[in-house]
Chains A and B, each alone.
Chain A
Amino acid sequence: MKQSRRTGSRILIALVFLFLYAPIALLIIFSFNEGDSSAVWRGFSLHWYQSMLRNRLIIESVYMTLLVSLLATLISTFAGTFAAIGLYSLPRRRRDVLLTVNNIPMMNADIVTGVSLCLFFVAFFQFWGGFARWLNGVQSAFVLPERLTLGFGTLLLAHIAFNIPYVILNVAPKLRQMDRNLMDAAQDLGCTWMQAFWKVMLPEIKPGIISGALIAFTMSIDDFVISYFTAGSSTSTLAMTIYGMTKRRVTPEINAVSTLLFLTVLILLVIVNVGEIRQERRRRNPSVRKEPFGERLRRFLSTRTGRYVQWGITAAAAICFVATVSFLTAETQSIPVVNVCSWGEYIDTDLIDRFEAETGIRVNYQTAESNETMYSLLKSGGADYDVIVPSDYMIAQLIEEGMLSELNYDNIPNFQLIDPRFRNLSYDPENKYTVPYTWSTLGVIYNPTMIDGPVTSWGALYDERNAGKVLLINNSRDAIGEALMYLGYSVNTTDENEIRAAYRILDEASKRGVFQGKVMDEVFQTMEGGNAAIASYYAGDYLSMLENNEDLRYVIPDEGANWFVDAMCVLKDAPHMREAEAWINFIASTDASLANMDYIGYASPNSEALEQYPAYYEELYGEPMDPELYDIMVTPPEVLERCEMYENTPPNVRALYNRLWIQLGI
Chain B
Amino acid sequence: MKRKLSLLAAPYAVWLFLLVVIPILIMAVYAFTTSDSAATLENFMDMGIYASVFVRSFRLAAIATLICLLIGYPAAYFMAGEGPGFQRVALALIMLPMWMNFLLRTYSWMAILENNGLLNQLFQKIGLFSFLSGITGEEAQAFQMLRTPGAVTLGMVYNYLPFMILPIYSVILKLDSQLLEAARDLGANSVQVFWRVILPLSLPGVLSGVTMVFVPSVSTFAISRLLGGGTQMMLGDLIEQQFLGGAYNPHLGAAISMVMMVIVVLCMALMNHFGEGEEQAVML
Contact = CB atoms under 8 A, between A and B. Distances in A.
B247 A662 contact: yes
Interface string B204-226: 00000001000110111110001
Most-contacted residue by chain B among A13, A118, A221 (CB, 10 A)? A13
A239 interface: yes
A332 interface: no
B99 A277 contact: no
A168 to B, nearest CB: 8
A115 interface: yes
Contacts of A142: none
B284 interface: yes
Interface stretch (B129-137, B180-188, B260-268): B260-268
A305 interface: no
Contacts of A487: none
Smallest CB-CB A-B distances: 5 pairs? A86-B8, A517-B229, A86-B9, A109-B219, A518-B230
Contacts of A379: 248, 250
B105 A373 contact: no
Contacts of A109: 215-216, 218-219, 236, 260-261, 264
Interface stretch (A15-23, A306-314, A456-464, A595-603): A15-23
A70 interface: no
Contacts of A228: 244
A102 B13 CA distance: 9
Given A86-B6, A116-B26, A529 B114 contact: yes
Contacts of A518: 229-231
A659 B75 CA distance: 45
A615 interface: no
A101 interface: yes
Contacts of B231: 515-518
A376 B251 CA distance: 13
A352 interface: no
A125 to B, nearest CB: 12
A222 B229 contact: no
Contact of B78 (A9, A215, A239, A376): A9
Given A218-B98, A218-B99, A531 B9 contact: no
A224 B101 contact: yes
Contacts of B245: 369, 372-373, 376
Given A531-B116, A665-B233, A222 B101 contact: yes
B179 interface: no
B95 A218 contact: yes
B27 A115 contact: yes
Interface in A243-291: 243, 246, 250, 254, 258, 261-262, 265-266, 269, 273, 276-277
Contacts of A662: 50, 233, 238, 241, 247
Interface string B49-68: 11011000000000000000
Interface string B91-106: 0111111111111110
Interface stretch (A77-85, A294-302, A384-392, A570-578): A77-85
A117 B30 CA distance: 13
B23 A120 contact: yes
A584 interface: no
A70 B253 CA distance: 31
B219 A258 contact: no
The dominant DSSP class at the B interface is: helix
Contacts of A377: 244
A404 B5 CA distance: 54
A516 B151 CA distance: 13
Interface stretch (A414-422, A468-476, A558-566): A468-476
Contacts, number: 308
A21 B249 contact: no
Interface of A: 9-10, 12-13, 16-17, 19-21, 23-24, 26-27, 30, 38-39, 65, 79, 82-83, 85-87, 89-90, 95, 98, 101-102, 104-105, 107-113, 115-120, 123, 157, 161, 164, 169-170, 173, 193, 211, 214-215, 218, 221-225, 228-229, 238-239, 242-243, 246, 250, 254, 258, 261-262, 265-266, 269, 273, 276-277, 369-370, 372-373, 375-377, 379-380, 382, 468, 474-476, 515-519, 522, 529-532, 658-659, 661-663, 665-666
8 contacts: A38-B111, A101-B20, A214-B284, A269-B95, A373-B244, A518-B229, A531-B114, A665-B53
B3 to A, nearest CB: 8
Nearest to A218: B98
A157 B19 contact: yes
A447 to B, nearest CB: 12
A38 B106 CA distance: 13
Contacts of B222: 224-225, 243
A170 B284 contact: yes
Most-contacted residue by chain B among A222, A370, A659 (CB, 10 A)? A222
Contact of B221 (A79, A111, A276, A474): A111
Contacts of B27: 112, 115-116, 119
B277 interface: no
Most-contacted residue by chain B among A101, A170, A515, A661 (CB, 10 A)? A101
Nearest to A116: B23
A90 B8 CA distance: 10
A463 B21 CA distance: 51
B247 A242 contact: no
B254 A87 contact: no
B103 A239 contact: yes
Nearest to B162: A20
B203 interface: no
Given A16-B71, A243-B222, A262 B100 contact: yes
A39 B250 contact: no
Given A82-B8, A104-B24, A377-B244, A111 B96 contact: no
Interface in B20-59: 20-24, 26-27, 30, 49-50, 52-53
A375 B75 CA distance: 47
B19 A161 contact: yes
Contacts of B191: none
B198 interface: no
Nearest to A471: B229
Contacts of B108: 23-24, 26-27, 38
Nearest to A20: B97
A165 to B, nearest CB: 9
A598 B248 CA distance: 34
B20 A161 contact: yes
A247 B277 CA distance: 43
Contacts of B104: 27, 239, 242, 254, 258
A265 B95 CA distance: 10
B52 A519 contact: no
B37 to A, nearest CB: 12
A115 B116 contact: no
B49 A13 contact: no
Nearest to A85: B8
B88 interface: yes
A73 B138 CA distance: 56
A273 B92 contact: yes
B101 A242 contact: yes
B244 A229 contact: yes
Given A82-B8, A120-B26, 5 more contacts: A104-B20, A254-B107, A265-B99, A373-B246, A666-B50
A218 B2 CA distance: 34
Contacts of B168: none
Nearest to A269: B92
B117 interface: yes
Contact of A89 (B2, B24, B100, B116): B2
B229 A117 contact: no
Contacts of B30: 119
Nearest to A187: B1
Contact of B5 (A85, A112, A115): A85
A531 to B, nearest CB: 4
B18 to A, nearest CB: 8
Contacts of B17: 101
A173 B282 contact: yes
B26 A376 contact: no
